[in-house]
Structure 1
């Protein structure tokens, strides 16, 4: 399957039973403003563009949500535990974006899509969820051009802030994506 647009990405996810099972599990929690984001989608795209027959290993499945009322980290852990009960062999990671701005010492996010827009790389700033009819919904605040063209570059937040740009550079080196996906181009 060729991946040239948001619609192509959505179709590729809808035909992937493993990804749909994960999305259905996350939807069972009924979290406010929830998305599964980052490597879950990026790796799917890069695997397809590299012609891989097997799925590349994924470090974790990032489930995010936004709830300003209940920001206790223990609540996130309880959601993570519920997901492990539904699909025990998945490396779940659940984070409330209403508190995650603290990690980067920036202004609070206004919603989950705002948080996604402030992820380190444009290729990772992408999320999917299921709507009430179990249709895949995709958000890509920076578009999908970079991820489809195998470009890794910082989002504006991580480009314009010297401290965060250093975090971006360290992260890209640590992730070592080029060892798996040889054709990606990294912009430092």
Structure 2
């Protein structure tokens, strides 16, 4: 699905107001992304509470003008304050900096991203390639390059663009424990 401006009803069931609060942080080109989105869908589809088993809420932004840890840390601290009263762990990361630490954490190099979308496109599963943000006019922008059909049909598909196979398999195993109805597809041979 190309970027859109529709209001995704599935996400509205998660009442934590993270989109609204993130919009007040003035982060450049940001999205709420990955697990908290598709897991909310899985929870709604499988008739679980909307926040069931959501480990954290990832907010990605893109600022290539300052790649320092200090600048990213300032955004993280501002987020900590904005979300301090919520029963959720909200992680804010500058995707322009990922190439600086990715290889040390995951064992493979990561070329520099040129946007939050390019970072999102490299997640270990196509299911994860999903982002939503609240625009200044109050509309929601949805980024879903692989569409939403498989997300709503509980299909987990590998995305061997960047992340190692072990990352995909570990995530899929954890997800299957929480949502046993998932159909997890094998990593390509």
TM-score class, shorter-chain normalisation, is: 0.7 to 0.9
Give the gaps of 5 or more residues in structure 1: 1-5
* Gap change, CA 1:105 and 1:130, over 3 Å in 2: same
Give the gaps of 5 or more residues in structure 2: 103-107
User: Contact conserved, 1:116 with 1:141, CA < 8 A, in 2?
Assistant: no
1:95-143 Cα offsets, whole Å, 9 max, x none, are: 1111213415122111111110111111111010001112111101221
Aligned-partner Cα distance in 2 for 1:8–1:24 = 16
What's the counterpart of residue 13 of structure 2?
16
**1:148 positional shift:** 1.4
Q: Which has the higher contact order (CA 8 A, sep 6+)?
A: 2
Name the TM-score, length of structure 2 as normaliser.
0.82
**1:9 positional shift:** 7.2
Aligned-partner Cα distance in 2 for 1:156–1:169 = 11
Name the TM-score, length of structure 1 as normaliser.
0.83
Root-mean-square deviation (CA, aligned residues, Å) is 2.2
User: Contact conserved, 2:40 with 2:50, CA < 8 A, in 1?
Assistant: no
Larger helix fraction of residues: 1
Aligned-partner Cα distance in 1 for 2:183–2:5 = 23
Runs of 4+ in 1 over 3 A off after TM superposition: 6-9
Report how many residues are paired: 175
